[in-house]
Amino acid sequence: MNIRTRFAPSPTGRMHLGNLWIAFLNWLWTRQRGGKIVLRMEDIDRERCRKEYEEGILEDLSWMGLDFDEGPEGTYSYGSAVQSRRYDIYGTLLSDMEKKGYIYPCYCSRSRIHQVLSAPHEGEASPVYDGHCRNLTAEERQAMTKQPCWRVRMEESTVSFIDLFYGTMTRTLKAGADDFVVRRADGLVAYQLAVSIDDGDMGITHVFRGNDLLDSAPYQAWLIDKLGYHVPTYGHLPLLVDTKGIRLSKRQQGITIRELRNRGYRKEDLIGLFLYLAGGLPEPKPVSLREALEDFPFEKLPDLKKKHIILPVS
């Protein structure tokens, strides 16, 4: 099997330890198996994404020595690995889905529609929908004055996917309640659609990311399958949390990699810290990337099965 993974940051802030933790573990797992890594810029949300953050991500990854094989620049068989350059791909697939009756317009008020553009991380409102617009007639649609968002027309279906840490996951998706949004009323493509098309299109075989996205995986697996791609295996990794149990998030201004670098941390210190947090070392000590590759087989990092890992520093 030709292993292909991706690291898919949203350039909405500087990288912090939580982002680098995912990037490092994805790199380690993939490189230990001779696979390829795609660096995908998830910048569909033009209002929150900035070029300087994109550059910051590249700078931090390169400082750490985490290399990748494709993206964000360059053109590949699937096109660009930058989401803002893939709008026409998303647009074509959306019109296909419309023609096939897989999606329908929803005119419900904004208060009924949740923010769906960014990845729904743990603790954020999860979408609930009552199927209100599933069966509007052509006349009723015509009479609407506002722009609709578009939802998938879910039929009750059972979705299964494999997670390296959680095993085989099975979920039943329901008509109405699970009619998730694929396009917002303002025309922007929703995270769930973009990520599914991209993982499918880019031939991603294994998806590593924080386990706060575990609840999104059934939707993505369903969509990836519906679009005719091969559903990847997932690896939902433990979230790094602070001593109060709060997720290190760039939105909350956690310590950035740049700050750590300025404080004198070397990449070996961070690698050693990550291996310690993953249960591979009894205490943190400097480790090189080469040693990490050779001496720390991924499957011998026992704590990656945990849901949360506490970062003992502030």
195 binds ligand GLU (CB under 6 A): yes
Instruction: For residue 72, say if its preceding peptide bond is cis, omega within 30 degrees of 0.
Output: yes
Residues 85-144 that bind ligand GLU (CB under 6 A): 119
What is the spatial distance between Cα 115 and Cα 133, in angstroms, rounded to a whole number? 18
Contact flag: residue 308 with Zn ion (CB under 5 A): no
| 58 forms part of the interface with ligand GLU (CB under 6 A) | no
Q: Pick from 20, 97, 213, 289 the residue near ligand GLU by CB under 6 A.
A: 213
Rounded to whole angstroms, how far apart are CA atoms 239 and 258?
20
Closest CA to 19 of 217, 274, 293: 274
Q: Is 198 in the site for ligand GLU (CB under 6 A)?
A: no
Q: How far is the CB of 56 from ligand GLU (least distance, A)?
A: 14
Name the residue nearer to ligand GLU (CB basis): 126 or 243.
126
**Pairing outcome for strands 103-106 and 149-152:** antiparallel
283, two tokens: 């205490």
Sites for ligand GLU among residues 35-54 (CB under 6 A) = 42
CB of 146 to Zn ion, least distance (A): 11
Q: How far is it, in rounded angstroms, from Cα 205 to Cα 234?
A: 8
Pairing of strands 157-163, 167-173: antiparallel
Inter-CA distances, 157 with 31, 43, 179, 223, 285, Å? 36, 31, 12, 12, 48
Q: What length is written for the chain?
A: 314
237 near ligand GLU, judged by CB under 6 A: no
Question: Does 10 contact ligand GLU by CB under 6 A?
Answer: yes
Between 144 and 313, whose beta carbon lies closer to Zn ion?
144
Among 4, 209, 247, 267, binds ligand GLU (CB under 6 A): 209
Closest to Zn ion by CB, 50 vs 134, is 134
Residues in contact with ligand GLU by the rule CB under 6 A? 8-10, 42, 119, 195, 209, 213
Residues in contact with Zn ion by the rule CB under 5 A? 106, 108, 132-133
